Amino acid sequence: MPRIVREASVSWEGTTARGSGVVSAATSGAFELPFTLASRVGDPEGKTSPEELVAAAHASCYVTSLGTELARAGTPPDRMAVRCVITMDQIESGDHRIVASHIEATAIAPGADADAVARAAEVADAGCPISALIRASAEVTVEARLEGGE
């Protein structure tokens, strides 16, 4: 299998409390986004954060795994939507940790029933490399339902 490398870069100026950074998609050039401590733990005020980027990574990884599993079951989806919520919390030591990632998925998949979607959702979770990573240190939960199904 090929090794695929993706790179991002950050420039940060000043201290954590008063400084600010810009995070850029170095491989694709698809984004260049400011971030600050306040936007990470408080009101985002239109700025992203590491945890929001993880949410986007997990949702976009999971959606491909779910599509793969539904196709493998003989019911390829016409359309899927996945929402991911990443929760960061302060743990006892005072450090911040990503404690949970919650995935909500819906699929329009002709011929699939609710059980088939639930099974595919579970296998997709096991197969998504980002689910596997996050699960090693945090709770990963998945809710999936068939759209237009019973």
Interacting positions 44-103 with another protein (CB under 8 A): 44-61, 63-64, 67-68, 71, 76-90, 95-99
- The distance between the two most distant Cα atoms of the chain, rounded to a whole number of Å, is 56
Say whether residue 142 binds another protein (CB under 8 A): no
Per-residue contact track with another protein, 119 to 138, x per CB under 8 A?
A: ----------xx-xxxxxxx
CA 67/CA 48 separation, integer angstroms: 27
Least Å distance between CB 142 and another protein? Answer: 14
Least Å distance between CB 124 and another protein? Answer: 12
Say whether residue 19 binds another protein (CB under 8 A): yes
Scanning residues 103 to 122, which ones bind another protein (CB under 8 A)? none
CB nearer to another protein: pick between 4 and 150: 4
According to DSSP, the β-strands at 96-108 and 139-146 are parallel
Say whether residue 30 binds another protein (CB under 8 A): yes
Compute CA distances 117 → 64, 96, 102, 106, 140, whole Å: 14, 34, 17, 9, 18
Q: Segment contacting another protein (CB under 8 A): 32-40, 112-120, 141-149? A: 32-40
CB nearer to another protein: pick between 7 and 150: 7
CA 102/CA 143 separation, integer angstroms: 8
CA 93/CA 99 separation, integer angstroms: 14
Residues 138 and 101: beta-carbon distance below 8 Å: yes
